[in-house]
């Protein structure tokens, strides 16, 4: 879609003002989800930037994607705006002096930010609920009101409801891929070191990644390489025939509901019929992770370190479901943390060796479709479902991998995500594989 929009702008079939204005209108629609998907918009500034892009294009001086509207998760610094990260206690802090590097690169490429998207407080949940600013409803079954997934909740809904054509999120344990899977779009977690995390409120400095959400694999590839400061996104799409895809038997297939089980089985059948070499393999490395993280893991330890000054003075302003997990970090000793670092390094080396012969690992992104928001009022049920949603995606973060979620549901049914996990640094190859699979597995684009 981004390529088509760029072509339409270049040919004069549309204008940046029309694109940005259309997104702003949808955000402002009182019958829509814009008021919950976004925590801030600046329509006058966005339209002024759109007009500037149109003038630059008329003069032959505009970058290819100039004037295309995107959304930005509320934990990124944007010059002149307060970075709240879904919290109340950061609302009174000083505005950012500069854009986060990843955001600055997107702006330099001409993209127009239409607003800051809502998120789980401090990105510390995979469900997308926010008691301070509301929870945007999943595009599927709006009458019921289902979770969007998190923590990049508003990011996903901004795409599904055409309030932006690309969304920038973060992913510490699935926060781009979970909402993508539950909302029926594409979400990408790059190899963490490729995209700078500076200028973003951290959850875990060890596990945080900056990633895009969009309607197709090509779009997330475009946004990804711009944020990484790399060359133009490669277009190489390998043939499906001959791809070596491994389905782990351990952990990732547990607890699937009927919709996800059917969608995953259908995808595997189609891949096999197209000539992909799909094999079920033992992967005990995944079963080890619960024990390694028994004391809260990197997220609790590193979140507690960053939040400790605020917890000491403003604990009453936190979401109780978030602060209880942050406080687990207080119980970790320095020795515990060093044990975590050593365990991770060892686990990464062993998984790298075990998966060297496979082009990608393949599994359900999450094991169930999106539950109803009202079903999560109970704290115990919230905790259970949160762990379930995070379970599969978090492996890519812990093992320092790139991972991609693509939709594989039948058109008109509940969204189901298929996750591909590639090797560290093999992002371009994984995105090419994702594009190949998307063409035969995903429902028609919106």
- At 216-231, the pLDDT tens digits run 999 999 999 999 999 8
**Residues known to be catalytic:** 73, 151, 175
**DSSP β-bridge partners for residue 244:** 277
Distance CA 430, CA 160 (A): 24
Q: pTM of the full predicted structure?
A: 0.98
Q: How does DSSP classify residue 191? A: -
Which helix H or strand E contains 189, and what residues bound it? Answer: strand 186-189
| β-strands 417-422, 402-407 pairing | antiparallel
Average pLDDT estimate for 400-414: 97
In 34-83, which residue ranges form alpha helices assigned H by DSSP? 34-37, 43-58
- At 62-116, the pLDDT tens digits run 999 999 999 999 999 999 999 999 999 999 999 999 999 999 999 999 999 999 9
Average pLDDT estimate for 395-408: 98
Distance CA 193, CA 140 (A): 34
- Whether residue 446 has pLDDT greater than 60: no
In this prediction, residue 360 carries a pLDDT of: 98
Q: How far is CA 380 from CA 296, 321, 348, 383, 387, in A?
A: 17, 10, 32, 5, 11
C-beta of residue 182 within 8 angstroms of C-beta of residue 402: no
Domains in the chain, CATH or no CATH each: 1-242+363-446 (3.90.1300.10)
């Amino acid at each position: 879609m981004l390529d088509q929009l760029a072509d339409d702008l270049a040919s004069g079939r549309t204008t940046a003002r029309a694109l940005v204005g259309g997104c702003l209108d949808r955000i402002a629609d009182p019958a829509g989800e814009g008021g919950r998907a976004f925590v801030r918009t600046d329509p006058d500034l966005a339209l002024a930037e759109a007009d500037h892009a149109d003038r630059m294009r008329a003069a032959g001086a505009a970058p290819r994607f100039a004037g295309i509207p995107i959304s930005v998760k509320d934990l990124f610094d944007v010059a002149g705006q307060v970075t709240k990260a879904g919290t109340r206690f950061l609302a009174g802090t000083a505005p950012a002096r500069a854009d986060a590097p990843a955001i600055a690169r997107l702006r330099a490429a001409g993209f127009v930010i239409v607003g800051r998207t809502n998120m789980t407080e401090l990105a510390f949940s995979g469900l997308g609920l926010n008691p301070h600013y509301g929870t945007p409803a999943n595009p599927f079954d709006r009458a019921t009101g289902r979770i969007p997934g998190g923590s990049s909740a508003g990011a996903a809904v901004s795409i599904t409801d055409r309030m932006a054509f690309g969304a920038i999120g973060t992913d510490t344990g699935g926060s781009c891929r979970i909402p993508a899977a539950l909302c029926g779009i594409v979400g990408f977690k790059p190899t963490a070191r490729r995209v700078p995390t500076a200028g973003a409120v951290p959850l875990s400095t060890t596990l945080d990644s900056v990633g895009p959400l969009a309607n197709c694999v090509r779009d997330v590839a475009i946004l990804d390489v711009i944020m990484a400061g790399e060359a133009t996104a490669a277009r190489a799409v390998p043939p499906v025939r001959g791809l070596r895809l491994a389905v782990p038997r351990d952990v990732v297939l547990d607890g699937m509901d009927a919709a996800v089980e059917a969608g995953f089985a259908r995808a595997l059948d189609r891949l096999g019929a197209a000539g992909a070499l799909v094999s079920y393999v033992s992967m005990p490395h995944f079963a080890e992770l619960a024990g390694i993280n028994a004391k809260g893991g990197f997220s609790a330890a590193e979140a507690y370190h960053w939040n400790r000054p605020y917890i000491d003075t403003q604990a009453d302003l936190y979401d109780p479901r978030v602060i209880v997990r942050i406080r687990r970090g207080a119980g970790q000793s320095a020795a515990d943390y060093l044990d975590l670092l050593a365990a991770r390094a060892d686990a990464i080396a062993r998984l790298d060796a075990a998966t060297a012969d496979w082009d990608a690992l393949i599994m359900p992104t999450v094991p169930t479709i999106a539950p109803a928001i009202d079903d999560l009022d109970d704290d115990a049920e919230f905790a259970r479902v949160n762990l379930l949603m995070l379970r599969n995606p978090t492996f890519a973060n812990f093992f320092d991998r790139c991972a991609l979620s693509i939709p594989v549901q039948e058109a008109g049914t509940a969204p189901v995500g298929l996750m591909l996990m590639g090797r560290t640094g093999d992002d371009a190859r994984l995105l090419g594989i994702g594009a190949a699979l998307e063409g035969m597995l995903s429902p028609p684009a919106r």
